Structure 1
Amino acid sequence: MTSSSQPYALIFDMDGVLINNTPTQAKAFQLLFRDLGLTTNARRLLDRLNGMPASKILETVFTNPVPEKQLKEYAAQREFLYRVLYWDKRKETPGLSRFLQDAREAGFKIGLGTGSASDTISYIIDHLELRRFFDVVVGKDDVERGKPHADTYTATSRQLGIPPERCLVFEDALMGEQAAYKAGMRCIALSTTLKPEQFQAPLRVIKDFTEITPQHILELLEQNPPTPKPSKELAKRQYMKL
């Protein structure tokens, strides 16, 4: 693959990367907020905090502390709403399967690193028959702290057996981009959720996987661009009054 004997690894977030589901996620949150009597704008909230576990996102919308058990119940309610809304809409981001197949043939190791729980991961990747492409799948249940902490991507890198500096993350969210940089990895952003200018410093922003090939990725990585320092401002998770 390269002058080095060690391969590169590609690590993918799930929501907004493998699938373009952010509008449906936002609608599910909005329905929950309506039920709870909250006026928070779900789409604006996800623009800022998407990538974090749902219970952690929900924690930011209350002015007063809410018990963890209650937050998890709200998150489960949101998950139910999301699955009902998204049931007939599940489809991969354009070009994904071909890109993953070509990446495997080119010698890349491939991992999935998501804040979703195992049943939600299965709801997407097994329905779309994508699991066969991944050497490693890491989700919410496999790490202590979710994004923007580095744990998800650090664990994926470790299980793949590839050092962080040889890993490239595909993300659609600010929290995920920050997690990648905290893990010492570079990032390519997908503009499924945010506008290109809203990201911090990805190597490239793509609309979908028809716009890039494994050879393009290899050329980018062989240039050895530095890993950006994570932005403390972008990783803030304060109550946003949205």
Structure 2
Amino acid sequence: MPDQPYALLFDMDGVLIDNTPEQARAFQLLFRDLGLTTNARKLLERLNGMPATNILKTVFTTPVPKKKLEEYAAQREFLYRTLSWNKRRELAGLTPFLQAARAAGFRIGLGTGSGSDTISYIIDHLDLRRYFDVVVGKDDVQRGKPHQDTFAETARQLGVPPERCVVFEDAILGEQSAYKAGIRVIGVSTNLRPEQFQAPLTVIRDFTKITPEQVLALLAQHPETPRPSKELSKRKYMKL
């Protein structure tokens, strides 16, 4: 009986594309309109990977109705697209890496907290959808990151057990989500410094200096998935 394949799972923002500056600027403009002083860049450093409505929940000291949060999220999305329209470029080395991974027999999935329109805005504009066997977004799971649902569902749809998967993540909550799903992580340092990750197999700046063979070697060298950190998984009110 042949061995099961391995799978590569990718977050989208900050991994396929280095768009955190535009994301942060969009949040900052929204906060200015709302009279909030929260530092958006520091906020995303801590909470990137969650759906925008869930991120927005954390900047208010009192509960905000779901409909109002959705309106704020839509406003932020409009601002983000205005800022990023001419800046959508894949992270260096991504397409050659995806091509090499396919040739090496890896299954490939995308697991993101974004909705289908935002996913299309990135991966279809960059012509990346053809490389993914599975695309899982916020509408496909009940709970977003840092819960395990996004990556657990991506692995399930790929038909690959968690212990044969690795997640490429740029965010603290995304790393925690992967560990909760029993999946190891390679950090992508577009949003965080390498030392801010909990326990990645390695940290890369882009995809120019990593190969599918190196991924397999890292998985063999580190067979155990780290236990998730309760502290790093917290999504409390962010007074920044």
> If the TM-score is normalised by the length of the shorter chain, which range does it land in?
over 0.9
User: Displacement of 1:137 after TM fit?
Assistant: 0.3
Alignment partner, residue 170 of structure 1: 168
**Structure 1 stretch 214-223 or stretch 184-193: which is displaced more?**
214-223
User: Displacement of 1:218 after TM fit?
Assistant: 1.2
Aligned-partner Cα distance in 2 for 1:114–1:106: 24
Q: TM-score, normalised by structure 1?
A: 0.98
Aligned-partner Cα distance in 2 for 1:86–1:160: 31
Alignment partner, residue 231 of structure 1: 229
Picking from 135, 138, 154, the partner of 1:137 is 135
Give aligned-pair identity as a percent.
75
Alignment partner, residue 95 of structure 1: 93
> Is 1:77 the equivalent of 2:75?
yes
**What SS class does the counterpart of residue 211 from structure 1 fall into?**
coil
Aligned-partner Cα distance in 2 for 1:138–1:109: 14
Structure 1: gaps spanning 5 or more residues: none
The amino acid that maps onto 2:144 is G
Aligned-partner Cα distance in 2 for 1:5–1:225: 17
Alignment partner, residue 6 of structure 2: 8
What is the RMSD of the two structures over their aligned residues, measured on CA atoms?
1.0
Alignment partner, residue 121 of structure 2: 123
- Contact kept in structure 1, 2:22 and 2:80, CA below 8 Å: yes
- Contact kept in structure 1, 2:12 and 2:110, CA below 8 Å: yes
Q: Give the aligned length.
A: 240
Q: Structure 2 matches for 1:1-242, cutoff 5 A?
A: 5-242=3-240
Aligned-partner Cα distance in 2 for 1:222–1:194: 25
- Contact kept in structure 1, 2:201 and 2:222, CA below 8 Å: no
Alpha-carbon deviations, 1:43-96, whole Å to 9, x = none? Answer: 000000001000000000000110111111100100010001000000000000
Aligned-partner Cα distance in 2 for 1:207–1:9: 21
Q: TM-score, normalised by structure 2?
A: 0.99
**What SS class does the counterpart of residue 209 from structure 1 fall into?**
coil
Q: Which runs of 4+ in 1 moved over 4 A?
A: none
